Structure 1
Amino acid sequence: MWTLRRAANPMSWNYCHRILATRSCSAKSDIRSGNLVSTEWNGEQGGCITAGNISPNSTSNGIFFPKMSSLGSRNFSSHFGAKSSNIEDNSENEFSDLDLPPETFKVSDKEDSEDGLSEDDIPAVDKEVDKDEDADHSLGLLDAEKDTNVEKALNKKNATSPLFKILMEVPRLSINSALDKWVEEGNALGRGEISIVMLNLRKWRFYGKALQFVEWLEENKRLEFTERDYASHLDLVSKVHGIHTAEKYIQKIPKPLRGEVIYRTLLANCVAAGNVKKAEEVFNKIRDLGFPITTFSSNQLLLLYKRVDRKKIADVLLMMEKENVKPSLFTYGLLIDIKGRSNDISGMEQIVETMKAEGMEPDLTIQAVLAKHYIYGGLNEKAESVLKEMEGDNIKDNRNACKSLLPLYAALGKAEDVERIWKVVQAHPRLDECLAAIEAWGKLDNVENAEKVFEDMMRSWKRPSSKCYNALLKVYANHKLLSKGKELAKRMSDNGCRIGPLTWDALVKLYVEAGEVEKADSILQKASQHNQIKPLYSSYMTVMDQYAKMGDIHNAEKIFHRLRQIGYAGRMRQFQLLLQAYINAKTPAYGFRERMKADNMFPNKSVAAQLAAVDAFRKTQISELLD
C-alpha cells in the first residue's frame, strides 16, 4: 500500500511513518461477497492528489476514518475510459461507455414509461456496472448455497424467465395483479425465479418495476427476507425515491438485519447522488455502529473524492494502509485514471507496475484507460502497443475488446483499423458495438458511415433503443449538422422513443455547436420543468461554458442558480465557468471567494489564477476619477 500511495503522489513520501509489507489483492468478482453494483453518479473533479497525514482515529477534513477489521472484495467495473477530448481536470464526463455490458437479449417493444428511470435515462458515463451484470445476485437475493440450480441459471449469459417478460409487457399499475395471477395459476415463484427477474429488471434499469416487485414480495410474504434482500429493497428505494426516503425505510428493517450491508448500500447511493455530506455521515455511522469498513466502502470514498476533492484521496489511501485494507483492481483503475487525467504518465505507469507486482493484470477496461491517456498525451506508439495487447492473438476470439477498440483506433485516426474491427462484428453486432462504431466514424469525420451503421440498426432491431438515436445526434452535433439533427430528433419522437437526459444533452450540444445557445438554454429549461428526471450536469455545463465565452454574466449566473436549485451545487467546474464569464466581460467578481467558502469550496491553482484576474478589474480611486 505504501508503494501505491507513493505512486499516487510522490510528495507524500515525507508523510509516511511506517512501511507496510506488500499485499496481494483479490481481483475476483464479488458476486458472493454481496457488494453493490450499478451505482450512477454525477459530480465534478477538482484539485489534485496531495499529501495526507491522518491517524486512523482522527478526523481529516470532516471525515472520521475508523479502524478496519474485515475486508470485502470489489470487482473492477466500467468507470474508466472517459470520452472527453482532453484530460484536464475541468472535464465533467469522467467515465465512458467503453465497457458497456453486451446486449444479451432484446427487450419488449413496450418501454417502462411510468418508471422514474429507464436504461436510456442513465448515461453510461455515470454508471458503475459490474462486469458479471448480476446486480441483484451480488446484493444477495440469491443464496447460492441453498439453490445451486439458480447459481447455474444466473451464470448463463441469457438468463431470463417468462415472469420477467410478463412484467416487461404490463404497465406498472398492473404489476401487482399480474403477479397475483402468476401465483394463482400455480406458477413457481421461488428464490431462483425471483433472482432472475430482479437481475434482468436491474440490468435494463427498470428500477420502478423492480421496486414494485420487491414490495409485492414483502407484502405477500413470498420470500423470507435476509439482510441482503433488505439491502436490495433499500437500493431500489434510494434510486426511485431518493436518499431521504431510503433513510426512512431503514427504520422499517428489523434491527437484527440492519447490518453493514444495509449501510454500505446507503453509502453507495449517497455517492451516486454526489451527496458529500450525507456520504460522510453514513461512512461515520458504519464506524459508530461497529461494523467493518470494507474495501468496497473505501472505494466509495475514493469515487466521491475523485469528483469533489482530490486532496482527500491521499487521506483515504493512508487510512487503507494503516488499517490493512487491501486495494482492489477497481482501486488501482481509479488511481490510474486520476494520474492520466493529470497528464502524469509516469505516475500512471508506476501505479500499473505496483498493481502487477501485487499479482493483478490490467483488464480490458484498464487497458482502454491507459490507451486513451497515451493518445491524449501524444504517445501514440504506446497507445498502439496497448491496443495490440487488447486485441490478443485473434480478435475474433476476443470479441469483448471490439467495443473499446473502435473509438480508440478512431482517436488515433486509424480508419483502416476501425473498418477491420467493425467487420469482425458487423454480421451480428451488439448494441454497444454499434454505438461504438457510430462514435468511431464520427471521430473520423465519416458521417456517412456513421449513418449507415445507424440505418442498419434500424433494420435489425424492431424498436431500437433511444441510445442509437443519441449516438448519431452527437455525431451531428460535433459536425454542426443542425438540420440533420432536427430531422433525427423528430424521427426519434415519431417512433415513440422515450426522450430523456441523454437526448436533451445531445440536443443542447447540437444547438450550442450551431451557435444557437439561447435555443439550447430553452430546451434545457423546458426539460427541467416538465420532467421528473433532471438533465445531466454536463448539459448545463455546455450552455454555461458558451455564456462564459461570450462574457454573458447575467445568463451564466442564471445557469449557476439553476444548478443550485436542482442539486448540482458545490462543484468546482461551475465556479470556474462563472469566473470566466466575469473575466471575459472584464468585470470584477465582488465577494467571489466568500461565495466559494459558503459552499465549502476552496480555490485550486487554476481558480486562484482566475480570482487574481478578476481582481485586476477592481476600480481604484484614480481609475474612478479617470473614468
Structure 2
Amino acid sequence: MWALRRASANSVKAQGLNLAAFRSCAGIAPFSSHTEDKSSNSQHHGFTLDSWISSNICQPIVHFSNHFSVGNRSLSSEAGAKSGGEEDDVEEGFSELEAPEASETTGKNDESSDSSSDSESDLSNVDENMEENLETELMGDAEMVAGGAESTKNWGPSPLLKLILDASGQAVSDVLDRYVAEGKDVSRTEAYQVLLNLRRRKMYVKSLQLSEWLEKKEDFDFTERDYASRVDLIAKLRGLDKAEYYIDTIPKSHRQEVVYRTLLANCVSVTNPAKSEEIFNKMKDLGFPLTAFACNQLLVLYKRTDKRKIADVLLMMEKEDIKPTLFTYQLLIDTKGIANDVVGMEQIVATMRAEGVKPNIRVQATLARHYANGGLKEKAEAVLKEMEGDDLQANRWICPMLLPLYADLGNTDDVERVWKICGSKPRQQDYLAAIEAWGKLKNIEQAEAVFKKMTKSLRSLSSKHYSAMLKVYAENKMLSKGKQLLKEMGDSGCYIGPVVWDALVMLYVDAGEVEKADSILQKAIEKNPQKKPLFSSYMAILDQYSNKGDVHNAEKLFYRMKQAGYVSRARPFHSLLRAYVNAKAPGYGFRERMKADNIFPNRTLAGLLSQVDAFRKTSVSDLID
C-alpha cells in the first residue's frame, strides 16, 4: 500500500486546506468512505489528497458539470474541465521528463533520413519518455519477444539491418525477399533486433514494412505485442482511424489490453482528449484490467490539456489500487514544477522516498531544471552535484543532461568543465547538448566551434544537428547567420521536415519578421501536405499576431491549427483572445467556439472573455442605459 499521507500531512495543514476543499476544487464529488472513515486505507489515499494539494492550483472558479465517474472508470472530455492558477492554466509547454537513457549509438546517426523521422515530439517538449515507455511495453525484453533469445546487450551487428539501412529508396519487402532467395533465414531473434533498431532510429516507414512482411511469413507467428507494435506504427504513419480499423482485423485471441493501450498512447501523443477517453472507456467495457500504463497516459493527456483532471485520475488509481510507477511520480513532479509549486514538488519527492522509490537521474534533472527556472540556484546546484556523483568521468553518459542545466544557472565554468570531460570523442548527444548550452550562455563562438567539430566528426549531419545550431541563431536574433546555415543545409541534401520548419519559424519570429515566418510555414505545408508542423511553430506565430492585435491573421492561423488537428487546447484560445483584447475588438461567439472544442474557461480565460464581450455592462454603460 502507499504510505504517503504521513509524508505531507504537516504541509497540508500549514496551507490551511482540508479534504473537502480539495475535492471541491478538483471537481470531484466527495465519497463518504473517504471523508468519514479516515482510518480506512488512509495511507493509500494520502498520495492523491495530500501530496497533490497546492494552494496555487485549488482556486474557487466557475466550472461546468462533471461527468467523470471514478466508480466505473468512465471518462468524459468535460470531466472536471477547469483549472486554477493563471500561469498553470495558460502554459502548454511541457518539460522533457525523461529522454531515453544516453548510451552509445548503434549506428552512424541516431536519426535517419526516413520520411517520418521528424516526429512531433522532437521539438515540442511533449514528455518524450512516454515514447520510450511505449517502446518498452511493445517490444518487451528479448527473451519475451524473441522466444528465449539472449539479451540485446549480447547481440552483434546485424547484416540484415545493414542491408535495410543501405537500401535507400527500396522497399523493405524487396530487400527481405532477395535476402531469403539467397538461402538465408530471418529468425525471430534477428527480426526483433532489426525492428527495435529501426524504431529507435524513428524509421517508422521501414519498421511498418518489416512488420507487414513478417506477418505474411507463414512460419512467423505473430504475438499480441507484434500486433500492438503494428498498431503503433499504423497510428504514427496513417492516423488513428486506420489503426483502429486494423485492430478489428486482429484475431480475437490477440486483441487484448496491450493492443488497445497502444492505441490509447497514440491518441494521447496527438493530444486528442475525446478519442483518448473513448478508447479508455472501451478498454473498461471490454473488461480489461486497469493498468498503471493506461493511467499514466491519461496523466500525460491532462497535463497538457487540463491539469485539474489529474486529481480525477489519481482518485481513480487509488480506488482501483493502482500503485504509481516512477513515471507517474515524474509526471506529477514536472507538473508541480511547471506550476511553480516548489513545495508541492518537494512533497512528491518526499513521498517517493517514503515509498522506497529512489529518484533516478531523470527525476533529478527535472528537479534541477525547475529549481533553476524558479531562481533557486543553490538547490539546483546541489541536485546537479548529486547527479554527477563522485566520478563524472565514469558517469559521462549524463553529460548531455548536465550541460544545458548548468547553462540555465549561468555557470559557464561548469559547462566548460563538463564539456572537457566529454573528451576528444564526444557523442552526438554531447555535441547537441553543448551547442544548446553555449547558446543559452550567449557564447556563439563556442557554440559554433562545437558545431564545426561535430561536422568533422560525423559522416553526415541530419536535420536534428542543423536545428540545434539554428535554434541558437534564432534565440540570439542572428538572422543572417541562420540563413547561411540553412543554405549549407540545403546544399548538403539534408532532409527538411517539421523539426527544421520549427527552427526556421523561430529564426524569423525572433528577428521580428512574423509575416515571413508565417509565409515559410505555409509554403512548407503546401509542399509537404502529409507532414504536420509542430504545435510550437504555430504558437510562435500566433503569439506574435496576438501581441500586435492582428485579429485577421490570428484568426487565419488559428483556423489552420484546427485543420492540422491541434484542437482541445486552451493555449491557442488564450492567444487568440489576447489578439482581440489588444485590438480592442469585440469577440462574438467565443464561449460557443470554446465549448464546441470542449474547452471550458478557467479564471484567466474567463477574464479575457469578459474583456471581449460586446454586451458586457460597465459602470458607465449602466448610467447611459
The residue that corresponds to 2:41 in the other structure is 20
* Shift in alpha-carbon separation, 1:385–1:215, aligned structure 2, 3 A: same
The residue that corresponds to 2:559 in the other structure is 561
The residue that corresponds to 2:72 in the other structure is 57
Q: How big is the shift at 1:207? A: 0.4
Aligned pair 1:419/2:416, yes or no? yes
Greater Cα offset, 96-105 or 553-562: 96-105
Secondary structure of 1:397's aligned partner: coil
The residue that corresponds to 1:588 in the other structure is 586
The residue that corresponds to 1:609 in the other structure is 607
Q: How big is the shift at 1:598? A: 1.7
Pairs within 5 Å for 1:103-122: 104-105=104-105, 107=107, 113=113, 115-118=115-118, 122=122
- Identity among equivalent positions (%) equals 50
Q: How big is the shift at 1:143? A: 3.9
Structure 1 stretches of 5 or more lacking a match? 25-46, 66-85
Q: How big is the shift at 1:552? A: 0.4
Is contact 2:477–2:511 with CA below 8 Å preserved after alignment? yes
* Shift in alpha-carbon separation, 1:548–1:177, aligned structure 2, 3 A: same
* Shift in alpha-carbon separation, 1:190–1:593, aligned structure 2, 3 A: same
CA distance in 2, matches of 1:579, 1:130: 32
Aligned pair 1:233/2:230, yes or no? yes
Q: TM-score, normalised by structure 2?
A: 0.86
CA distance in 2, matches of 1:109, 1:469: 13
The residue that corresponds to 2:568 in the other structure is 570
Is contact 1:112–1:171 with CA below 8 Å preserved after alignment? no
The residue that corresponds to 1:95 in the other structure is 95
CA distance in 2, matches of 1:390, 1:145: 34
* Shift in alpha-carbon separation, 1:439–1:129, aligned structure 2, 3 A: same
Pairs within 5 Å for 1:398-417: 398-417=395-414
Give the counterpart letter for 2:90 in structure 1. Answer: N
The residue that corresponds to 1:552 in the other structure is 550
Secondary structure of 1:396's aligned partner: coil
Pairs within 5 Å for 1:282-293: 282-293=279-290
1:426-476 Cα distance to aligned partner (Å, 9 max, x none): 312111111111111011110000000000000000102221110110110
* Shift in alpha-carbon separation, 1:326–1:135, aligned structure 2, 3 A: same
The residue that corresponds to 1:534 in the other structure is 532
The residue that corresponds to 1:253 in the other structure is 250
The residue that corresponds to 2:48 in the other structure is none
Give the counterpart letter for 1:13 in structure 2. Answer: L
1:387-416 Cα distance to aligned partner (Å, 9 max, x none): 110111111111122111111111111100
Give the counterpart letter for 2:150 in structure 1. Answer: E
Which of 241, 245, 249 in structure 2 is aligned with 1:244?
A: 241
The residue that corresponds to 2:334 in the other structure is 337
Is contact 2:112–2:202 with CA below 8 Å preserved after alignment? no
Aligned residue pair count = 581
Q: TM-score, normalised by structure 1?
A: 0.85
CA distance in 2, matches of 1:478, 1:560: 24
Secondary structure of 1:310's aligned partner: coil
CA distance in 2, matches of 1:217, 1:259: 20
Greater Cα offset, 98-107 or 373-382: 98-107
Q: How big is the shift at 1:615? A: 3.6
Aligned pair 1:445/2:442, yes or no? yes
Q: How big is the shift at 1:236? A: 1.0
Pairs within 5 Å for 1:216-615: 216-531=213-528, 532-615=530-613
Structure 2 stretches of 5 or more lacking a match? 24-33, 46-55, 61-65, 81-85
Greater Cα offset, 444-453 or 269-278: 269-278
* Shift in alpha-carbon separation, 1:124–1:185, aligned structure 2, 3 A: farther
Greater Cα offset, 51-60 or 220-229: 51-60
CA distance in 2, matches of 1:323, 1:50: 28
1:259-302 Cα distance to aligned partner (Å, 9 max, x none): 11111111111111211111111111111111111110010111
The residue that corresponds to 2:168 in the other structure is 171
CA distance in 1, matches of 2:224, 2:620: 71
CA distance in 1, matches of 2:301, 2:193: 31
The residue that corresponds to 1:128 in the other structure is 128
CA distance in 2, matches of 1:222, 1:232: 19
CA distance in 2, matches of 1:434, 1:549: 35
Greater Cα offset, 511-520 or 3-12: 3-12
Q: How big is the shift at 1:56? A: 1.9
CA distance in 1, matches of 2:220, 2:309: 42
CA distance in 2, matches of 1:133, 1:54: 27
* Shift in alpha-carbon separation, 1:493–1:196, aligned structure 2, 3 A: same
The residue that corresponds to 2:29 in the other structure is none
Greater Cα offset, 95-104 or 593-602: 95-104
CA distance in 2, matches of 1:230, 1:108: 30
Aligned pair 1:151/2:172, yes or no? no
Is contact 2:118–2:499 with CA below 8 Å preserved after alignment? no
* Shift in alpha-carbon separation, 1:342–1:299, aligned structure 2, 3 A: same
Give the counterpart letter for 2:273 in structure 1. Answer: V
CA distance in 2, matches of 1:116, 1:132: 17
CA distance in 2, matches of 1:160, 1:504: 35
Is contact 2:113–2:462 with CA below 8 Å preserved after alignment? no
Secondary structure of 1:563's aligned partner: helix
Secondary structure of 1:251's aligned partner: helix
* Shift in alpha-carbon separation, 1:476–1:107, aligned structure 2, 3 A: same
CA distance in 2, matches of 1:414, 1:398: 20
1:140-196 Cα distance to aligned partner (Å, 9 max, x none): 484449744x332x135x864111111111135432121011112222311110111
Secondary structure of 1:151's aligned partner: coil
The residue that corresponds to 2:200 in the other structure is 203
